Amino acid sequence: MYSNMIQTNGDIIITQEGIADTFFSNIDISLLEKINELDEVKSSYAMIVGASPVANLPIVGIYGTTKSHFPHYKLQKGIYPKKGEVILGSNIETQITEKTIKIANKEFKVSGVFKSGIGFEEGGVVMNIEDASALFNKSASFIIVVAKSHENIAALIEKISVMDEDIEVKTTESFVQEYNQFKIIENSSLVISSLAFVMGLMGVTSIMSMIVSSRKKEFGIMRALGKSSLFIMKNLFVETIIVSSSAYLFAFILSTIILELVPSIDLLQGYVSGSISPNIALYVFISTLLMALFGALVPSFIASKTDPILLINQGCS
Amino acid sequence: MIKLENISHNYDGEKVLHAISFEIQKGDFVFLSGESGSGKSTLLSIMSTLMKASEGSLSLLHQDINEIKNIDSFRQSKIGFVFQFHYLIEYLTIFENLQLAALDEKKSNIQTLVDELGISELLHRYPNEISGGQRQRVALARALVNDAEIIFADEPTGSLDSKNSRIVYELLHEVAKRGTTVVVASHDMQVKEYANRVIRLVDGKVS
């Protein structure tokens, strides 16, 4: 994801003041020299992000960056781009066979193919920032700074902020959290997954409820034999825990396998990825267990209040 | 032993039993007879504490059932049931079915009973792996495993041929001779040969 691209490469991001989207941000690249003179700075790079039709593809991400950032792109073949050259992300390499491609009516020679582990980049084209600057008519979209120490980030941000009144300086972490597009994606994902989760829980409850209801005859027989309602509910409790824990374990393993496979599905071009955090895993497990117990124990409690012979007859009908 | 006083019962507002009163003594083999719909199964269910009567009082073993604190435990230790369709639990073996019904201190009865009833070879099979007659003998063993003082049987031979029916009645007769009270609800007049008392129900009334 785009957020990974920003977060994994640095500690501080500098964008244009008041511009919420990096695609529209334009800052002066000469800031880079002043920033590099600061003692607290380990490294920095500038980048231009844009999008344009490339060869036969209708829209492709274009990343123009300073040479200092090239090592981030692991070359699979060829060399890093010089002026008038580009390297292709591994996800679009198979779709672009030409050695020279046209981007916004300008010809670029393909000098290599890279992998970076970030789907957003691997589906795009990387070039020198000077070429990108000419293409998109801007100096830089943003600058990323890597600090020597994480202890004085706030002070470093203060120092950079006074260098130009038209810039906004933030930690990459807070930028990603505040970035509207990321928020929309995150909230949409949260709503969709929450809905799916709630429906799943309702399914678990309803299945457990149906299973228990279909065993009315058995409970009737047990009660006719003198087994108490508590005995029956205790057995059901243990059964429910075993069944739902097994189902959860199976679902967890399946989800983990799917999440491992998703990034390598060609159709998705590496744009989709995900992981299951321990907190989420625990939350899902506890919710599943509680809803399964609710689905199992409520009908069994109702059954415990019914005459045994009625349970047997209902179970037979 | 068993005392019913003015037992009446309604199903969905319709009266199916009308003020039934009688007493049964220890060791009686009672044949509760009547046509289908006469109310004999309902009466048997009420007498065996599997269902509560709408009106009237019932005493078992000289105790008013409303005053028994733990009716489940009472049912397990004092009452045995034989149903028409055996009602063994399908996912348990014959041995497990008998163990489920047996009180801890009566589990040792299982081997003696299965030997007597000729089903010792079936202990590790499942109910669907044995014949109808064998299943009913297992159901009888389950009813007897806790040395119940009263055995209730509702159409116990309803799904059996005449040969197996005779075996079941003879076994119940043998149980009654040992002092256990046996109440059989059936429309099969063959029971009459074994019973020492017949209570006939017609339209929910003792005739």
If asked whether residues A167 and A126 sit together in one domain, one would say: yes
Local confidence band at A130 (pLDDT 50, 70, 90 cut-offs): very high
Q: Any CB–CB contact under 8 A between B45 and chain A?
A: yes
Find which of A216, A217, A221, A231 to mutate to test the B interface (most B CBs within 10 Å of its CB).
A221
Nearest C-alpha of chain A: how many angstroms from B171?
20
Q: Which residues of A touch B (CB under 8 A)?
A: 217-218, 221-229, 307-310, 312, 316
In the block, residue with structure tokens 């243990």: A238
Q: Which residue of B has its CA nearest to A307?
A: B51
Q: Any CB–CB contact under 8 A between B152 and chain A?
A: no
Asked whether residue B22 carries a pLDDT value surpassing 90, the answer given is: yes
> CB distance A226–B75 less than 8 Å?
yes
| Helix (H) / strand (E) containing A89 | strand A85-89
Ordered alpha helix ranges (H), chain A:
2-7, 31-36, 90-93, 119-122, 129-136, 153-161, 172-178, 180-213, 216-224, 229-261, 278-304, 308-316
Q: Which of A146, A176, A206 is the last residue of a domain?
A: A176
Asked whether residue B109 carries a pLDDT value surpassing 80, the answer given is: yes
Task: Tell me the per-residue pLDDT of A173-188, one tens digit each, with 9 for 90 and over.
Answer: 888 777 666 667 777 8
> CB distance B73–A223 less than 8 Å?
no
Report yes or no: B58 and B124 within 8 Å, Cβ to Cβ. Answer: no
Q: 3-state class of A205 per DSSP?
A: helix
**Number of inter-chain CB pairs under 8 A, A vs B:** 45
Q: What is the ipTM of this complex?
A: 0.86
The number of distinct structural domains making up chain A is 2
Boundaries of domain holding A301: 183-316
The region, left, alpha or beta by phi > 0 then psi within -120 to 50, assigned to residue A231 is alpha
If asked whether residues A10 and A70 sit together in one domain, one would say: yes
Within 10 angstroms of residue A260's Cβ, the number of other Cβ atoms is 11
State the SS3 of chain B. Answer: CEEEEEEEEEECCEEEEEEEEEEECCCCEEEEEECCCCCHHHHHHHHCCCCCCCEEEEEECCEEHHHCCCHHHHHHHHEEEECCCCCCCCCCCHHHHHHHHCCHHHCCHHHHHHHHCCCHHHCCCCHHHCCHHHHHHHHHHHHHCCCCCEEEEECCCCCCCHHHHHHHHHHHHHHHHCCCEEEEEECCHHHHHCCCEEEEEECCEEC
CA distance A121 to A144: 16
User: What percent of chain A lies above the pLDDT cut of 70?
Assistant: 92
What token pair was written down for A91? 């996800």
Q: Any CB–CB contact under 8 A between B147 and chain A?
A: no
Report yes or no: A220 and B81 within 8 Å, Cβ to Cβ. Answer: no
Find which of B49, B72, B81 to mutate to test the A interface (most A CBs within 10 Å of its CB).
B72
What token pair was written down for A226? 């003198």
Q: Which of A176, A205, A221 is the last residue of a domain?
A: A176
If asked whether residues A160 and A30 sit together in one domain, one would say: yes
DSSP output for A122-143: HTEEEEEHHHHHHHHT-SBSEE
> CB distance B51–A310 less than 8 Å?
yes
CA distance A314 to A63: 69
Q: Any CB–CB contact under 8 A between B11 and chain A?
A: no
If asked whether residues A190 and A221 sit together in one domain, one would say: yes
Find which of B9, B71, B76, B87 to mutate to test the A interface (most A CBs within 10 Å of its CB).
B87
Task: Tell me the per-residue pLDDT of A268-307, one tens digit each, with 9 for 90 and over.
Answer: 656 667 788 888 899 889 998 998 898 888 888 888 888 8
Within 10 angstroms of residue B68's Cβ, the number of other Cβ atoms is 16
CA distance A284 to B132: 47
Q: 3-state class of A308 per DSSP?
A: helix
If asked whether residues A198 and A76 sit together in one domain, one would say: no
CA distance B144 to B124: 19
Nearest C-alpha of chain B: how many angstroms from A223?
7
State the SS3 of B107-124. Answer: CCHHHHHHHHCCCHHHCC
Greater confidence (A263 vs B44) lies with B44
- DSSP assignment, residue A46? E
Enumerate the residues of chain A whose CB falls inside 8 A of the CB of residue B79.
Answer: 226
| Helix (H) / strand (E) containing A169 | strand A167-171
Instruction: Average the pLDDT over A115-120 and give the result.
Output: 82
Within 10 angstroms of residue A233's Cβ, the number of other Cβ atoms is 17
> CB distance A225–B77 less than 8 Å?
no
If asked whether residues A15 and A159 sit together in one domain, one would say: yes
Q: Which residue of A has its CA nearest to B42?
A: A309
Local confidence band at B8 (pLDDT 50, 70, 90 cut-offs): very high
If asked whether residues A163 and A62 sit together in one domain, one would say: yes
Which positions ≥6 away from B101 have C-beta within 8 Å? Answer: A225, A226, B76, B142, B145, B146
pLDDT value at position A181? 64
Task: Tell me the per-residue pLDDT of A204-260, one tens digit each, with 9 for 90 and over.
Answer: 888 888 888 888 888 899 988 888 888 888 988 999 999 889 999 999 999 999 888
> CB distance B101–A226 less than 8 Å?
yes
Q: Which of A176, A211, A231 is the last residue of a domain?
A: A176
Q: Any CB–CB contact under 8 A between B89 and chain A?
A: yes
If asked whether residues A193 and A265 sit together in one domain, one would say: yes
pLDDT value at position B24? 93
pLDDT value at position A304? 81
> CB distance B101–A225 less than 8 Å?
yes
| Mean residue pLDDT across chain A | 86
Local confidence band at A19 (pLDDT 50, 70, 90 cut-offs): confident
Enumerate the residues of chain B whose CB falls inside 8 A of the CB of residue A225.
Answer: 75-76, 81, 100-101, 142
Least confident range from A40-49, A114-123, B93-102: namely A114-123
Report yes or no: B177 and B11 within 8 Å, Cβ to Cβ. Answer: no
If asked whether residues A169 and A197 sit together in one domain, one would say: no
Q: Which residue of A has its CA nearest to B88?
A: A221
> CB distance A223–B72 less than 8 Å?
yes
If asked whether residues A169 and A273 sit together in one domain, one would say: no
Which positions ≥6 away from A97 have C-beta within 8 Å? Answer: none
Asked whether residue A317 carries a pLDDT value surpassing 80, the answer given is: no
Enumerate the residues of chain A whose CB falls inside 8 A of the CB of residue B142.
Answer: 225
> CB distance B51–A307 less than 8 Å?
yes
pLDDT value at position A64? 94
Q: Any CB–CB contact under 8 A between B63 and chain A?
A: no
Asked whether residue A14 carries a pLDDT value surpassing 90, the answer given is: yes
Nearest C-alpha of chain A: how many angstroms from B10?
14
What token pair was written down for B73? 């435990």
Is A261 exposed, middle or buried, given 0-12, 13-18 or 19+ CB atoms closer than 10 A? Answer: exposed
pLDDT value at position A91? 83
pLDDT value at position A185? 73
If asked whether residues A226 and A171 sit together in one domain, one would say: no
Q: 3-state class of A117 per DSSP?
A: coil
If asked whether residues A213 and A83 sit together in one domain, one would say: no
Asked whether residue A71 carries a pLDDT value surpassing 70, the answer given is: yes
pLDDT value at position A263? 74
In the block, residue with structure tokens 């005392």: B3
Asked whether residue B99 carries a pLDDT value surpassing 80, the answer given is: yes
pLDDT value at position A78? 93
- Residue A139 backbone phi and psi in degrees, to 5: -80, -55
- DSSP assignment, residue A266? G
Asked whether residue B30 carries a pLDDT value surpassing 80, the answer given is: yes
A4-13, A15-24, A114-123, B99-108: which is most confident: B99-108
Instruction: Average the pLDDT over A97-119 and give the result.
Output: 88
Closest residue to A224, CB basis, from B73, B74, B81: B81
> CB distance A223–B52 less than 8 Å?
no
How many residues are there in chain B? 207
Task: Tell me the per-residue pLDDT of B42-80, one tens digit each, with 9 for 90 and over.
Answer: 999 999 999 999 999 999 999 999 899 888 889 999 999
CA within 13 Å, CB half, A123: 25
| Mean residue pLDDT across chain B | 90
Find which of A214, A218, A225 to mutate to test the B interface (most B CBs within 10 Å of its CB).
A225
Q: Which residue of A has its CA nearest to B102?
A: A225
State the SS3 of A50-81. Answer: EEEEECCEEEEEEEEECHHHHHHCEEEEECCC
Alpha carbon separation from B141 to A134, B60, B136, B138 (Å, rounded): 95, 22, 9, 5
Question: Which is it for the CA torsion B60, B64, B66, B68, positive or negative?
Answer: negative
